[in-house]
Amino acid sequence: MIVKICGITALDDALAARDAGADMLGFNFYPPSPRYVERTTCSRLVNAIRSRGFQVTLVGIFVNTPPDEVGRILDECGLDLAQLSGDEPPGDLARLSERAFKAIRPRDAGEALSQATRYGGRAAPPALLVDASAGTGQFGGTGQTGNWEAARILAARRPILLAGGLRPENVAAAVAAVQPWGVDVASGVESSPGRKEAAKMQAFVRAAHGR
């Protein structure tokens, strides 16, 4: 079970996430988010993480950013992948090729399958991130739980990351219900918006792995 801890803003949080057993770390480039990081900050964090020899996948989270700009930020910051979390058309994903995957927020199984057809063609995992459906203008990090049944149907067809309201107390149930390729958490392991809590990250990873 792959674990992605998203919304990293500080080096001590990044190191604690990796020590807890996270496989992927996310850095948010959406300015309205309380987890937003500047490019220079992200580059500094990535350099510090890489210098320690950690084998971890580093992901930039973008909302309606032009794909050429996304590619530049990936290169400048030394990130592995882009997560497109806005209202991007399929063409934006295609222009980034295997460097990006799409976050979707389906309200039901039919919508999940339709969005997977539009966005889920990436060959390597994750094919998609399945998040909770939120209000207009909200692009994740809300703490709301997603539609696990819709996610389960997709997880049987594609390697997905499951997000949306996950925390140490419910992630084991989510894994059992959905059987995703991986799980994604941000607010569920925080002490305050944008700052992570080591004990919560450790508990989350243990629960995700069924320990």
- Per annotation, catalytic residue among 6, 13, 42, 184: 6
Pairwise CA distance, residues 177 & 163, whole Å? 13
Pairwise CA distance, residues 8 & 36, whole Å? 9
Give yes or no for a contact between 146 and 173, defined as CB atoms under 8 angstroms apart.
no
The two tokens of residue 76 are: 């400048």
- Per annotation, catalytic residue among 13, 42, 77, 131: 131
Helix (H) or strand (E) holding 69: helix 67-77
Residues 6+ apart with CB under 8 A from 127: 101, 116, 120, 121, 158, 159, 160
Is position 42 annotated as part of the catalytic site?
A: no
Is position 184 annotated as part of the catalytic site?
A: no
Residues 6+ apart with CB under 8 A from 112: 104, 106, 130, 147, 150, 151, 153, 154
Pairwise CA distance, residues 166 & 172, whole Å? 9
List, by residue number, the catalytic residues.
6, 131
